[in-house]
Chain A
Amino acid sequence: EADIYQTPRYLVIGTGKKITLECSQTMGHDKMYWYQQDPGMELHLIHYSYGVNSTEKGDLSSESTVSRIRTEHFPLTLESARPSHTSQYLCASSDREGNQPQHFGDGTRLSIL
């Protein structure tokens, strides 16, 4: 079983607040990803990282930012939350070599009032 953890699981917060979604993995994976998903719908890649100090934007434009200071940690930050940011955010990781499966956390369900 993959060990990747996301906190919080649920967050309801007011407009304009700064939010950080946490993601940690204990598998030593170099690659990490953030996806945005409306429940049960298509996954949209918003950020990814190939290792420490590496971050790239994904296919879906997002106002969020990410950092990768440690291999195991890949937090996502929204400086000023808006109702349009309401969604589910999924974090994943995979090994560097070749085509390797992505292991997902259980997501953060974010609601901006």
Chain B
Amino acid sequence: GENVEQHPSTLSVQEGDSAVIKCTYSDSASNYFPWYKQELGKGPQLIIDIRSNVGEKKDQRIAVTLNKTAKHFSLHITETQPEDSAVYFCAASKGSNYQLIWGAGTKLIIKP
């Protein structure tokens, strides 16, 4: 069935360095790709999303890239800060009548 694979499961980076999390999806009809950040004790919060008609989207220190041919998309965080420490989830959907398919999550640790 449809699935989204997310790597790595844990990522530890030095404060100020960049972090990259990658997701691969199986359904070529997928056209919407959100990224969520979940802090301890809270629900996931949308941080950025991209639709299939766009290859890259940026919002300050956060960017997402999409490669439809290879069926993968990535989250890039530059100049990481302690408050970036959280669990990040990617997801994919092929339309409003379909559910989001979620990745398994990446625990991002920012070392001071």
A residues at B contact (CB < 8 Å): 40-43, 45, 48, 58-59, 90, 92, 96-107
CB pair B87–A106 under 8 Å, yes or no, is no
List the A residue with the shortest CB-CB distance to B107. A40
Helix, strand, loop or mixed for chain A's interface? loop
List the A residue with the shortest CB-CB distance to B48. A101
Given known A-B contacts A43-B102, A58-B99, A101-B34, A106 and B49 have beta carbons under 8 A apart:
no
Q: Please, how many angstroms separate the alpha-carbon atoms of A105 and B41 in the complex? A: 11
Q: In the complex, which of the residues A40, A90, A92, A99 contacts B87, with contact meaning CB atoms closer than 8 Å?
A: A40
CB pair A100–B43 under 8 Å, yes or no, is no
CB pair B51–A92 under 8 Å, yes or no, is no
CB pair B38–A99 under 8 Å, yes or no, is no
Q: In the complex, which of the residues B31, B40, B49, B107 contacts A101, with contact meaning CB atoms closer than 8 Å?
A: B49
21 residue pairs from A and B, CB less than 8 Å apart: A40-B107, A41-B105, A43-B89, A45-B99, A45-B100, A48-B99, A59-B99, A96-B96, A97-B96, A99-B32, A99-B51, A99-B93, A99-B95, A102-B34, A102-B46, A103-B46, A104-B36, A104-B43, A104-B45, A105-B43, A107-B42
